[in-house]
Structure 1
Amino acid sequence: MEDYALFCSGIKPVLEQGIENEVVLEERLLSDFILELKECNANIIIIDVIHCSNDGLASIKKIKRKFPRIPILLIVNTELSDLFQDYISLGVNGIIFNSSKPEDLLEAVKVLQKGDDYFPPKVWVILKNYLRSKRVDLSTDQSDKQQLTHREVDILRLFCKGFTYKEIGASLNISPRTVETHKKNISSKINVKTTAEMIEFAIQNNLS
């Protein structure tokens, strides 16, 4: 029997454990969800792509097109690992496994509420292995790599390991605010907007 910790606990009760969390909308059909979402003041969208048709790809596209500013958190299993790159390319802001603990879901929601992405180390391990097995064409301009300083490359590699701002700062003996500044500089240099895109760049350029 597989471990479905989140589903066994019930996603809605887990989310509402925190006083600051309130589930304002819950729907099974995408059409109903999009229609009602217009009337709700939602700040995070959680999609269970395990039980979505087409692995949730079409649903994510439609939701992102209509509500581009609302971050999306996906609930996945390892069988969907081949699609992690597609999910990230579509602009999802976080991924959590159905076998994760309820407190992991709460942590993911808190991170997204702060405006950051939530991708646990397991996601990047799976994604890196997948990209390497496919022998991704490293077509990114090599000058992008040369623009990054040694410190920026170090920080990029730590992000690839799933480290937080605080953990990276402690590892490099700098403040979390300095880490954030470096991240902004990295994103500007390689022309990406999200942590996910930044890490995907690192993977494709053997910097992870």
Structure 2
Amino acid sequence: MAEQINIIIAEDQHLLRQTLTSMLDEVDDFQVSYDVSDGKSLLAFLKDAPTLPYILLLDISLPDINGLELCPIITRDFPHVRIIVVSIHQQESLIARMITLGASAYLNKNVDFDLLVQAIRAVYAHKFFMDDHVIKILQNSQRHLINEKKKNNQIDIDLSIREIEVLTLICREMNSMEIADRLFISARTVDGHRNRMLLKTKSKNVAGLVMFAIKHNLVELI
């Protein structure tokens, strides 16, 4: 028997929440353990819930505490919860922001149910799910960040887009294999990027890379 995947739904639209619960409960290894319409009730549930790996389907537009506020709180206080944002809001800056804050995936509310199931399984198994659209948005976000730093003469070391991506994930305490899975590259390639950044920044170790990132405000740390 497949391992059961516990799911929480945080969605303020009652009909959508009921529909999602009914459809997800029909999947053999899925169980909707809790559904909620506001952020305060969600945090109260998580505080008293058993420490199990949960998948949280999170709407951004909750009536009391919105998803932007909830995401870093949950990531910090309930690390066993993996967040999949399901939202009508598709602004690139918002998607990049939610991933930076700790979301493992970002889906449109109009997503096909089969893709939602795929995303839930991927996040449960690998801690992330990113389709081509989200990957492109993150790359554009990093490219814009680098260009702004160069324009303002805030960084005089030429790091590539991929190196910045690797550095960002290093700062989120991910190891080479986890970074490789996230970026769809090999662990050896990750090690190569890290070693080149050590040389470019004249850092002695990974801690030095993190300090470099903080000094130049290259990544947002939670």
Secondary structure class of the residue paired with 1:49: coil
SS of residue matched to 1:22: strand
Instruction: Name 1:39's counterpart in structure 2.
Output: 49
The 1:78–1:187 alpha-carbon spacing in structure 2 relative to 1, beyond 3 Å, is: farther
Residue by residue, what CA displacement relative to the aligned partner does 1:130-173 show, whole Å, maximum 9, x if unpaired? 6667854356774654x97xxx9xxxxxxxxxxx97xx7xxxxx
For residue 185 of structure 1, report the CA deviation from its aligned partner: 2.9
- The structural deviation recorded for 1:61 is 2.1
d(CA) in 2 for partners of 1:144 and 1:79? 28
TM-score by length of 2: 0.57
- Distance in 1 separating the partners of 2:21 and 2:189: 34
C-alpha distance in 2 between matches for 1:16 and 1:78: 26
How much has 1:19 moved relative to structure 2? 1.0
2:99 and 2:106 in contact (8 A); partners too: no
- Name which of 115, 132, 136 aligns with 1:104: 115
**Within 1, Cα distance between the matches of 2:36 and 2:124?**
21
Query: How many equivalent residue pairs?
Result: 161
Return the alpha-carbon distance in structure 2 between the equivalents of residues 120 and 90 of structure 1.
18
Is 2:168 the partner of 1:118? no
Mind listing any 5+ residue stretches in structure 2 that lack a counterpart?
A: 1-14, 167-179, 198-205, 207-217
Candidates 52, 62, 74, aligned match of 1:63: 74
Q: Corresponding residue for 1:185?
A: 191
Q: If the length of structure 1 is used for normalisation, what is the TM-score?
A: 0.60
What root-mean-square deviation, in Å, do the aligned CA atoms of Structure 1 and Structure 2 show?
3.8
> Which one is further off, 78-87 or 132-141?
132-141
Q: 2-side partners of 1:8 and 1:39: how far apart?
A: 20
The question of 1:29 aligning with 2:38 is answered: yes
- Which structure shows the higher helix fraction? 1
- Matched residues, percent identical? 16
Answer yes or no: is the 8 Å Cα contact 2:37–2:62 preserved in 1: no
Higher fraction of strand:
2
Q: Distance in 2 between matches of 1:91 and 1:186?
A: 25
| DSSP 3-state at the match of 1:73 | strand
Give, as a single letter, the amino acid of the residue that structure 2 aligns with 1:34.
L
Match of 1:195 in 2: none
Contact in 1 for aligned 2:59/2:86 (Cα 8 Å): yes
Q: Which residue of 2 aligns with 1:94?
A: 105
Give the unaligned 5+ runs of structure 1: 1-5, 153-163, 169-178, 192-203
Give distance in 1, aligned partners of 2:62 and 2:41. Answer: 16
Seen in structure 2, the aligned counterparts of structure 1 residues 34 and 76 have a Cα distance that, compared at 3 Å, is same
SS of structure 1 residue aligned to 2:86: strand
In 2: Cα distance, 1:115 partner to 1:12 partner: 23
Q: For the structure 1 residues 93 and 186, does the alpha-carbon distance in structure 2 shift closer, same or farther, using more than 3 Å as the test?
A: farther
* Alpha-carbon displacement from aligned partner over 1:66-104 (angstroms, at most 9, x marks no partner): 102321110123444321221121111111111110111
Other-structure match for 1:84: 95
Larger-gyration structure (1/2) = 2
Match of residue 137, structure 1, among 149, 158, 162: 149
